[in-house]
Structure 1
Amino acid sequence: ASGEVIFANRTDQPVIVPKGTIVRTGSGVNARFATVSDVEVPGKLYAHARVGIVALDPGPVGNAQPLTINIVEGDIGYKVDVLNTSPTQGGTVRRTPVVTAEDFERLSAKLLEQLTRDAYAQLVGELEEGEFIPAQSLDVRIMSQTYDQVVGQRSAVASMTMKVVARGTAVDGKALEQLAIQFLIQRGAEGEELQIIPNSLVIHRSEEIEKDRDEILFSVQARGMVTPVIDIARLQAHLRGKTIAAAEAWLRENVMLAVPPQVSVQPSWWERLPWLPARLKVHILAGET
């Protein structure tokens, strides 16, 4: 807050009131002010001179009503009286944001989270076809971080620069698929050769991953449709020209089947299978393992 006061001479000698002279209110809220320049009061009793003042304390406390500033501090007060004929104004309260240590902590955590996502996306973009990186295998380390402000600085924003290095463990998805296939086909009976039906394999990876230095451990569940390895050309060669009953009997005796075979001929009144192997269609229905 600022304003103006009048100094009145209490003597018959000129009086110089120096810059920085302190004046204050005599009642109510104690508001103190300092003169902004030197002022000379003429050498005559009750002669007066005006000078500007500024509040020593910020805020509304410096807004003094007229005729309330009436005390001069220091020895100069024996020579002059003081009074304000108009109010002092301009003292306000304004919220000014200040950067705190907690602001930097939150900013650092948020930026690290964003950089981690960006790093993971960049690593994934560099993978070969069929590869994948488990998110839990990502290792992000802060190399440097600098803040653009300091704690206690007046600022509406807090900003910083952070550099990180990230690495993750890439897994060959095709190799994992082959491993799952081998596991499934090895579940057959001893001596039984199985094969996976194309497009039937489903693999579920566990979200929980254990890290051991550069290795990662996770569980995998695989499900697929399997069937014995059947030589279609051999079947066609043995079945051609047979009756439906003979073909079904041969299949039961020579092929390991979970359910009885079904043989049909088109047109339905024809009693035997075609002689040409190319006209024999073999359909294999597989179960799930």
Structure 2
Amino acid sequence: MLLYDLHKYTCSGLAKMAQIINLTLDDDLISIQSQLELTKAKRVLMIVPSNNKTLHSQVNLKMVARTAKRLNIELALVSRNVKIRDFAKEAGLKVYASQWFAKLVGFISTTESPTPTPKKVAKQLPKKSVIRKKLPEKVLVFKGEMVTIWKQLVAFLLIPILALAFIVIILAIVPQGTVTLTPQTDSISTKLIITADPNPEVTTIDRENNITPARPVQTEVTLFTEVPTIAQENAPADFALGEVTFFNRTQIEQTIPMSTIVRTSSGVPVEFLTTYTATIPAGAGQTTTTTVRAVEPGSRGNVLSGQINNFLNPTLGLISRVFNEGSTHEGAERPTGVVTENDKDRVRSKLRQLIQKQGYEDIVAGLDEQEFVPPESLLVIELSLSYNKFSGDVSETLGAEMRAVVRGTAVGTYHANQLAYFSLLEQVPDDESLLSEGLKFSAGGIQEIKDRTIIFPIIAEGVVVSKIDKARVKSTIAFMPIGEAQAWMSQNLAIEGIPAVEIRPNLLGRLPLFPFFTTIVINDVTAVSRTDF
């Protein structure tokens, strides 16, 4: 005879853990409040059926919230009902789509276990003394002959051997079943407005406000560029050309170097340069000629015969006299470009665009993996600007050099994708799972930039696949006819197409009687999910 003792146990440790309360359809307000008052836990996850009428009332939900607050209990609900979720949020309660998601975000522990029940330990009474009596040995008698103990032993050994052989034969002919199922898949998506904040105080993601950390980036760029001038006016363009004659005033040979300046002597002097070296033969009155070109362009260089009669260097006038026997010609004005303030604005604007483009390329080259810089966030700060011409200068082009700093904000797509992923998880029902292979994230255009803080949308898309309980399927379809089993699975499981059933050997047209002889194969839908987007 066995006696049982109940072990003592305490729940003081369990009171610190989270408790899960499963409400029923019939639980009213008083019942719900009573369950809260009876719990010793400081954090309670209450699973609410969608058809529970009590919590369809905003007033009732607020009263439940007050009860939890009075008892100093952190209360959260699990419900997919839109009305209950809205009322709960207005009452200040947290709401999760599933118990699994509440574990994922850390509201309850993943190792949570129910309150243990008292264990029974068996105690055995002291054994009473046993008096063994020796029974008389029995033998079998067949037709008057007595069967010895050895013959009896052989007979008893043959029985299990024959039974084992029978079992082996049965197992050899028992059919093996294979059922192949393709679970249903569905596409889900979500859109979030993300705020990327480069403030150094923002170091982690804020899931409630959809804020992700960002970082400021910058680079320094120096570029030179030119633009054609637009305004035109008549300006000296072509140089006057002609010949002059040098007369020797001495008895020895004299040399007039190239680029010697000769000029007119009346009015404002017009100057000319000799184009090559001239040598005057020895003897007074000896002459030689050379070509000259006006120092400045324009028609002013076209002078009459005899007007070029002076040297810029008076020393040369002591050894030689100069005279132009013919007039100079080909000096002229023509329309040409003139630098204006508008040209300066144009070259400055072009430089800013080029520097912004170059700065963007330099910044992108230095980004970390999974970072991007929106071009709209770039800011060009000029440090210096210099032009190679002044306003009013005659020139077909105007050039300028700018040195500037290009600043922007680098956004980490990893953090933004993480927020979108959690938002996507909230849409996954309990009987489905999200495939990691089918995830796709894409950022939209920039909506707003404030103090280098960037606000932009991100879209997350994914594929969910239905869950299939293999043990339930095998136990349900055991020994069913093949057609009936296929019909049951098509009606009761979230699968694609008709289930494939294979029986080897197919003697009865039924699935195996014992579930462990049936194998359930779930087709991989990963390849399917990759083609959905």
Q: Is the 8 A contact 1:131 1:171 kept in 2?
A: yes
In 1, Cα distance between equivalents of 2:387 and 2:517: 82
- Counterpart in the other structure of 2:454: 216
Counterparts in 2 of 1:35 and 1:211: CA distance versus 1, 3 Å? closer
Q: Is the 8 A contact 1:59 1:91 kept in 2?
A: yes
- Counterpart in the other structure of 1:263: 499
- Summarize the alignment of residues 1-289 of structure 1 with structure 2, pairs less than 5 Å apart: 1=240, 20-22=265-267, 59-60=298-299, 87-188=327-428, 192=430, 194-228=432-466, 230=467, 235=470, 239=474, 242=478, 245-246=484-485, 249=488, 257=494, 262-266=498-502, 270=506, 271-272=510-511, 275=516, 280-283=520-523
Q: Is the 8 A contact 1:119 1:166 kept in 2?
A: yes
Query: Which amino acid counterpart does residue 170 of structure 1 have in structure 2?
Result: A
Query: Which amino acid counterpart does residue 264 of structure 1 have in structure 2?
Result: A
Q: Is the 8 A contact 1:202 1:222 kept in 2?
A: yes
Query: Which amino acid counterpart does residue 418 of structure 2 have in structure 1?
Result: Q
- Between structures 1 and 2, the one with greater strand share: 2
* RMSD, matched Cα: 4.5
Q: Is the 8 A contact 1:252 1:261 kept in 2?
A: no
Counterparts in 2 of 1:108 and 1:267: CA distance versus 1, 3 Å? farther
Tell me, what secondary structure is at the counterpart of 2:459?
strand
Counterparts in 2 of 1:193 and 1:106: CA distance versus 1, 3 Å? farther
Query: Which amino acid counterpart does residue 265 of structure 1 have in structure 2?
Result: V
In 2, Cα distance between equivalents of 1:146 and 1:35: 34
In 2, Cα distance between equivalents of 1:89 and 1:172: 72
Residue 152 of structure 1: how far off its partner (Å): 2.7
Counterparts in 2 of 1:170 and 1:262: CA distance versus 1, 3 Å? farther
Q: Is the 8 A contact 1:252 1:260 kept in 2?
A: no
Residue 95 of structure 1: how far off its partner (Å): 5.0
List runs of 5+ in structure 1 lacking aligned partners. 5-18, 23-32, 37-53, 70-83
Greater relative contact order, per chain length (Cα 8 Å cut-off, separation 6+):
2
In 2, Cα distance between equivalents of 1:126 and 1:61: 60
Tell me, what secondary structure is at the counterpart of 2:331?
coil
Residue 266 of structure 1: how far off its partner (Å): 4.1
Residue 193 of structure 1: how far off its partner (Å): 6.1
Q: Considering only CA atoms, is the larger Rg found in Structure 1 or Structure 2?
A: 2
Q: Is the 8 A contact 2:338 2:395 kept in 1?
A: yes
In 2, Cα distance between equivalents of 1:224 and 1:252: 26
In 1, Cα distance between equivalents of 2:363 and 2:353: 16
Residue 200 of structure 1: how far off its partner (Å): 2.6
In 1, Cα distance between equivalents of 2:427 and 2:299: 86
Q: Is the 8 A contact 1:239 1:247 kept in 2?
A: no
- Counterpart in the other structure of 2:10: none
Query: Which amino acid counterpart does residue 99 of structure 1 have in structure 2?
Result: V
List runs of 5+ in structure 2 lacking aligned partners. 1-239, 244-263, 272-292, 308-323
Q: Is the 8 A contact 1:185 1:193 kept in 2?
A: no
Query: Which amino acid counterpart does residue 179 of structure 1 have in structure 2?
Result: L
In 1, Cα distance between equivalents of 2:385 and 2:355: 12
Tell me, what secondary structure is at the counterpart of 1:219?
strand
Residue 140 of structure 1: how far off its partner (Å): 2.1
In 1, Cα distance between equivalents of 2:504 and 2:300: 109
In 2, Cα distance between equivalents of 1:121 and 1:218: 22
In 1, Cα distance between equivalents of 2:461 and 2:369: 22
Sequence identity of aligned pairs in percent?
Answer: 26
Tell me, what secondary structure is at the counterpart of 2:501?
coil
Residue 116 of structure 1: how far off its partner (Å): 0.6
Residue 188 of structure 1: how far off its partner (Å): 4.1
In 1, Cα distance between equivalents of 2:458 and 2:435: 19
TM-score, length-scaled by structure 1: 0.58
In 1, Cα distance between equivalents of 2:416 and 2:400: 42
TM-score, length-scaled by structure 2: 0.35
**Deviations 1:152-209 (CA, angstroms, capped at 9, x unpaired):** 33444433221221222222212222222222231245xx265432343333422233
Tell me, what secondary structure is at the counterpart of 2:381?
strand
In 2, Cα distance between equivalents of 1:108 and 1:97: 18
Q: Is the 8 A contact 1:99 1:150 kept in 2?
A: yes
In 1, Cα distance between equivalents of 2:340 and 2:456: 42
Query: Which amino acid counterpart does residue 263 of structure 1 have in structure 2?
Result: P
Tell me, what secondary structure is at the counterpart of 2:404?
strand
Counterparts in 2 of 1:185 and 1:248: CA distance versus 1, 3 Å? farther
- Counterpart in the other structure of 2:55: none
Query: Which amino acid counterpart does residue 137 of structure 1 have in structure 2?
Result: S
Count of residue pairs the alignment pairs up: 228
Q: Is the 8 A contact 1:58 1:92 kept in 2?
A: yes
